[in-house]
Amino acid sequence: MDENSGRRKRLTPQDKLEIFLEVQKGNVTKAEVMRRHGIHSAELARIEKRGMEGALTALKEDRRKKPDPEKEALANEVARLKEALTEQSVEVTLLRKKVNGV
């Protein structure tokens, strides 16, 4: 608890990571970690659970980026529009030559 306001101190993600790592190292007891950070056993259990879940999620992610279908569709659209613009540019050039008699 925060001695100044009588309310619990709100833990930042960095605080929670530090608590999680302290417990995982095993150099101190969970009771000592809870006392030092002013948290209840239920809060420590939540931090441990979410820390493990987060670590597992990060380790499961494929390092190779999967292609984003939206980006791929947009890139295809850009290529199609460039091709259409090139064709129209050629047509305009040919029509100008025809009109000018060149």
**Is this prediction's pTM over 0.85?**
no
User: What single DSSP character describes residue 2?
Assistant: -
| Residue range 57-88, pLDDT digits in tens | 888 876 677 778 999 999 999 999 999 999 99
Burial class (CB in 10 A: 0-12, 13-18, 19+), 97: exposed
Q: Distance between CA atoms of 20 and 78, rounded to whole angstroms? A: 47
Q: Measure CA 33 to chain center.
A: 29
